[in-house]
């Protein structure tokens, strides 16, 4: 099982629609430019391909402005996929839309039965599945996920996400089997004491949502101190533009579902 949670052969991405300009956001940020968002999304898909991943790009869902953030709708593990239950009411239909694409890759596709849970609150490591409680993810949702994945021999650890953090992975990213990149505020979590934590330099907190994909680490462009930190630690960094995703509270991890199914 070692390294399987950052080693991927396939990914699902969804093109941002024109409606992304109406996407959810915690602050009064300006609307993203759909054309520029699509350009940045194309660069992201190309980076996945360059990293050795076969990418299926799904068409836009104009009825769901935030559907480009495809990771929130499902969790993909080697043994099977889980259709999640996004916590924002306007995103509920995204879960139904991801089922058919998942069934093209998996024999087993389970469904969250109670509560709500966003993929952005789930960090899978070689040891466990860490799930952060948030405004979008409830204890009931975590319990429903636990009931599914325990049959696949996974341990689920529930974490209290600090106030002001939209999603657990807004402030952290898996770098390897032992190492997590995290902000200072999230690194204080009890669950992180069993890992080696690299602290994001202060002032570059938005860089924490990094994604390890095979031999490289995707990092949002514009964070030189974090780039230097990761490079010095021996990681190969690929900087990608995320200016438009950031306007609607999105980051690198939520732009794809990355997986290597056993079935």
Size of the chain in residues: 263
CA-based nearest residue to 84, from 119, 55, 53, 54: 119
Catalytic residue among 13, 76, 167, 172: 167
Catalytic residue among 13, 76, 172, 254: 254
Concerning whether 167 is annotated as a catalytic residue, the answer is yes
Active site residue 105: no
Active site residues: 167, 254
């Amino acid at each position: 099982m070692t390294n399987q949670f950052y080693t991927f052969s396939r990914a699902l991405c969804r093109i941002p629609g024109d409606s992304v300009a109406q996407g959810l956001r915690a602050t009064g940020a300006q609307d993203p430019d759909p054309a520029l968002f699509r350009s940045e999304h194309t660069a992201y898909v190309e980076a996945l391909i360059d990293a050795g991943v076969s990418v299926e790009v799904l068409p836009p869902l104009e009825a769901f402005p935030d559907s480009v953030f495809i990771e929130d709708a499902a969790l993909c593990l080697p043994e099977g996929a889980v259709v999640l239950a996004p916590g924002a009411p306007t995103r509920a239909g995204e879960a139904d839309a991801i089922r058919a694409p998942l069934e093209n890759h998996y024999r087993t596709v389970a469904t969250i039965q109670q509560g709500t849970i966003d993929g952005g609150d789930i960090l899978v490591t070689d040891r466990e599945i860490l799930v952060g409680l948030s405004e979008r993810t409830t204890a009931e949702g975590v319990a429903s996920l636990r009931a599914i994945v325990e049959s696949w021999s996974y341990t689920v650890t529930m974490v209290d996400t600090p106030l002001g953090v939209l999603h657990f992975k807004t402030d952290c990213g898996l770098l390897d089997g032992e190492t997590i990149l995290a902000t200072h505020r999230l690194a204080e979590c009890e669950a992180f004491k069993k890992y080696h934590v690299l602290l994001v330099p202060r002032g570059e907190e938005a860089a924490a949502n990094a994604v390890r994909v095979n031999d490289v680490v995707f990092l949002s462009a514009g964070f030189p101190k974090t780039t230097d930190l990761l490079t010095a630690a021996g990681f190969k960094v690929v900087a990608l533009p995320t200016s438009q995703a950031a306007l609607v509270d999105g980051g690198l991890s939520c732009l794809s579902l990355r997986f290597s199914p056993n079935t």
